[in-house]
Chains A and B, each alone.
Chain A
Amino acid sequence: DAGVTQSPTHLIKTRGQQVTLRCSPKSGHDTVSWYQQALGQGPQFIFQYYEEEERQRGNFPDRFSGHQFPNYSSELNVNALLLGDSALYLCASSLTSPFYEQYFGPGTRLTVT
């Protein structure tokens, strides 16, 4: 059983550019959450998708947007990149409920220069 997968593994972008990160959830999971993790800090919640809709959103600007597809995979888009967007972006999948554990993917390391 494949776990959560993310692509790409690493990415280098220039300030002002746009980026798309991808996530495939663990088999059987219908909910995908995205997190930003800066070095030495805990993951910060960006948003969560369920049934192709954004169900909850953290304290992130509209430059961060996402999408969930019918097969439950998801994309995270970030527009007008800033230097401060450099971080590890983690995707986690779960069943839809606060009573189920989340499984994290390996992350995408984004560097903005």
Chain B
Amino acid sequence: QQPVQSPQAVILREGEDAVINCSSSKALYSVHWYRQKHGEAPVFLMILLKGGEQKGHEKISASFNEKKQQSSLYLTASQLSYSGTYFCGTYSRDNDMRFGAGTRLTVKP
């Protein structure tokens, strides 16, 4: 089952903040966040592990609520380069990665 992402799309001005949410009905081992720009491959941003460990880009922060199987990606002081589609991927006991439908982020000057 795919994780559910919200919102589907968001438009920001440079410098504004955004939060993207991801929720799953399954017990998760890890949550992965990726950004994909048009015509390019998804780029790894952050991984959050069951137990609290996380790895990723220092300018991006995220949280993982293991009880609710929810994760949020926090984009602060957004830059034009943050524009793209953000996907969360969830890894459960089924041992495969399931991606959400994506959140399209547009940052305007």
Across the interface, A42 reaches (CB within 8 A) one of B41, B94, B95, B100, namely B100
A101, B100: Cβ atoms closer than 8 Å: no
Give chain A's interface residues, CB within 8 Å of chain B: 33, 35, 41-45, 48, 55-58, 90, 98-107
B96, A48: Cβ atoms closer than 8 Å: yes
Q: Which residues of A contact B2 (CB under 8 A)?
A: 42
Contacts A106-B41, A107-B41 given; does A45 touch B47 at CB 8 Å: no
Q: Is B10 close to A, CB under 8 A?
A: no
Q: Which residues of B contact A35 (CB under 8 A)?
A: 99
Contacts A41-B102, A102-B32 given; does A55 touch B95 at CB 8 Å: yes
Q: Which residues of B contact A42 (CB under 8 A)?
A: 2, 87, 99-102
A33, B41: Cβ atoms closer than 8 Å: no
Q: Which residues of A contact B23 (CB under 8 A)?
A: none
B29, A104: Cβ atoms closer than 8 Å: no
Contacts A101-B32, A101-B44, A101-B55 given; does A43 touch B99 at CB 8 Å: yes
B96, A106: Cβ atoms closer than 8 Å: no
Given contacts A43-B42, A56-B96, could you give 16 more A-B pairs where the C-beta distance is less than 8 Å?
A35-B99, A41-B101, A41-B102, A42-B2, A42-B87, A42-B99, A44-B99, A48-B95, A55-B95, A56-B95, A90-B42, A98-B91, A102-B32, A104-B34, A104-B42, A107-B41
**Chain B, interface residues (CB within 8 Å), range:** 20 to 34
B96, A103: Cβ atoms closer than 8 Å: no
Interface digits, B42-69 against A, CB 8 Å rule (1 contact, 0 not)? Answer: 1110010100000100000000000000
B101, A104: Cβ atoms closer than 8 Å: no
With a 10 A CB-CB cut-off, give which of A41, A44, A98, A107 has the most chain B CB atoms: A98
Q: Which residues of A contact B83 (CB under 8 A)?
A: none
Interface digits, B5-46 against A, CB 8 Å rule (1 contact, 0 not)? Answer: 000000000000000000000000110101000001111100
Considering only CB atoms, which chain A residue lies closest to B100 in the complex? Answer: A42
Q: Which residues of B contact A98 (CB under 8 A)?
A: 29-30, 91, 95
